[in-house]
């Protein structure tokens, strides 16, 4: 599937994270990046995690720095979080979230953990190999299917709540395609933000 900055994300944020995603995504797109995920955690007090990628599904430390530099003043103006927080911009990593149709197409043959927003076929959670994918759905094969039942489940992307690749030997062998250096931790740029000052710290 061709790289499309505006391709629909089926796994989306809600509440404050959704508001922040609406602020972040245009900035990332202007730089040629796709937004993968926005998440607020209690790490280090409060941490705003921004995950993005380039057209190759990568995000080097220089990309993290570029996006951090452009995001910081925009977030200062919009001021979506009413307390001091750390802005953490990072790559998707090897065991990455799957949020767009192209993600499922790219990782056919790899294992994923999936949770749906609503129950389908009597369950909401699936874990197994992605065996097929298209613009509207993907098929996952369950290794623990009851004998005599079909292990393949075709699931609509529109029902996704969360999806993530599982760390397997096969995925690790693909690491050189996903990172410049497969031995490195995911590239991260952290910026500490408060009402008075902004301090850059590259990890």
What is the pLDDT at residue 198? 37
Question: What is the pLDDT confidence band of residue 175, given thresholds at 50, 70 and 90?
Answer: confident
Q: Does domain 101-173 have CATH number 2.30.30.180?
A: yes
15-94+182-202: CATH class: alpha beta
**pLDDT tens-digit series, residues 9-22:** 999 899 999 999 99
- pLDDT score at 164: 97
The pLDDT score that the predictor gives to residue 22 is 96
Phi and psi of 201, rounded to 5°?
-140, 115
Average pLDDT, the chain: 88
Sheet holding 137-141, edge to edge: 152-156, 137-141, 123-133, 111-120, 160-165
Q: What is the predicted pLDDT for the residue at 181?
A: 47
Res. 121 pLDDT band, cuts 50 70 90: confident
C-beta of residue 192 within 8 angstroms of C-beta of residue 81: no
Residue written as tokens 């003043």? Answer: 73
DSSP state of 92: -
Would you state the pLDDT for residue 197? 38
Task: Report the C-alpha gap between 128 and 111 in whole angstroms.
Answer: 5
Question: Which pLDDT belongs to residue 44?
Answer: 85
Residue 16 contacts residue 38 (beta carbons within 8 Å): no
- CA 36 to CA 11: how far, in whole Å? 9
Confidence of residue 60 (pLDDT cuts 50, 70, 90): very high
| CB-side neighbour CA atoms (13 Å) of 73 | 4
Tell me the three state secondary structure of residue 22: helix
Task: Read off the tokens for 115.
Answer: 């949770």
Q: Which of 42-46, 48-52, 134-138 comes out lowest in average pLDDT?
A: 42-46
Give the rounded distance of the alpha carbon of 119 from its chain centre.
Answer: 23
Average pLDDT over residues 184-203: 49
Domain parsing of the chain, residue ranges: 15-94+182-202, 101-173
91 or 2: whose pLDDT is higher? 91
Q: Residue 190's pLDDT is what? A: 62
- Please give the pLDDT value at position 194: 55
Q: Work out the angle at residue 92's Cα, subtended by the Cα atoms of residues 144 and 140, and round it to the nearest 5 degrees.
A: 25
pTM for this predicted structure: 0.85
Whether 101-173 and 15-94+182-202 are alike in CATH topology: the answer is no
Give the whole-number percent of the chain exceeding pLDDT 90: 75
């Amino acid at each position: 599937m061709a790289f499309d900055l505006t391709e629909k994300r089926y796994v989306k944020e809600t509440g404050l994270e959704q508001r922040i995603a609406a602020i972040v995504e245009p900035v990332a797109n202007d730089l040629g990046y796709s937004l993968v995920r926005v998440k607020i955690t209690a790490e280090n007090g409060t941490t705003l995690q921004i995950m993005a990628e380039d057209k190759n599904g990568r995000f080097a430390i220089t990309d993290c720095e570029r996006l951090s530099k452009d995001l910081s003043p925009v977030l200062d103006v919009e001021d979506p979080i009413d307390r001091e927080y750390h802005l953490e911009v990072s790559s998707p990593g090897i065991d990455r979230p799957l949020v767009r149709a192209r993600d499922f197409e790219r990782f056919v043959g790899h294992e994923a953990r999936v949770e749906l927003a609503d129950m389908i076929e009597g369950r909401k959670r699936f874990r197994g190999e992605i065996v097929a994918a298209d613009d509207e759905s993907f098929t996952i094969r369950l290794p623990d299917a009851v004998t005599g039942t079909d292990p393949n489940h075709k699931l609509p992307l529109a029902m996704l709540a969360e999806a993530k690749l599982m760390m397997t030997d096969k995925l690790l062998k693909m690491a050189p395609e996903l990172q410049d250096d497969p031995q490195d931790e995911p590239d991260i740029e952290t910026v500490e933000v408060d009402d008075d000052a902004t301090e850059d710290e590259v990890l």
